[in-house]
Amino acid sequence: MTRPSGAGAVRGSCLRCGAPVLRQLVGRHAALSVTADAEPTTWAAAFALREPNRLDWCLRELSTGPDLRWTTSYPSPCPHSHVIDHRCPAGTPAGRRPEGTLW
Ligand SMILES: [Zn+2]
């Protein structure tokens, strides 16, 4: 389920809470392993959720699938859909949820 950097995002689910997420290694030199909410939102909404340790990402739909990019290199407001780093809901048990668990 992993792909090399630059190959776009992979749709999956959070190992803790099961929420749909996008995973991607973003960046060429100092790549960051990103797990973002799969639900796209607007630049403004994602920016409002942004924190020092929670980044928002520009979401491009390419022919090869979704692709996450750093937001900082684009003029704001950005016209593309954005996603925000995934954060499990409060109360989610620490650690990986048991295999086969349905929510
Ligand atoms: Zn989660």
Domain assignment present for residue 96? The answer is no
Domain assignment present for residue 68? The answer is yes
CA of 29 to the centre of ligand 1 (A): 27
User: In which domain, by residue range, is 69 found?
Assistant: 11-84
> Which strand ranges, in their side-by-side order, compose the sheet holding 81-84?
65-70, 56-62, 81-84
Q: Note the pLDDT tens digit of each residue in 10-23.
A: 999 999 999 999 99
CA of 15 to the centre of ligand 1 (A): 7
Confidence check: pLDDT of 4 > 80: no
pLDDT recorded at residue 94: 84
Name the pTM for this structure: 0.78
How far is 47 from 34, CA to CA, in rounded Å?
A: 16
Q: Note the pLDDT tens digit of each residue in 36-76.
A: 999 999 999 999 999 999 999 999 999 999 999 988 655 66
CA of 21 to the centre of ligand 1 (A): 8
Domain assignment present for residue 57? The answer is yes
Between residues 20 and 93, the one the model is more confident about: 20
Q: Picking from 31-40, 67-76, 80-89, which range would have the lowest pLDDT averaged per residue?
A: 67-76
CA of 75 to the centre of ligand 1 (A): 30
User: What is the chain's percent helix, strand, coil content, to nearest 5?
Assistant: 5, 35, 55
Query: What does the chain come to in residues?
Result: 103
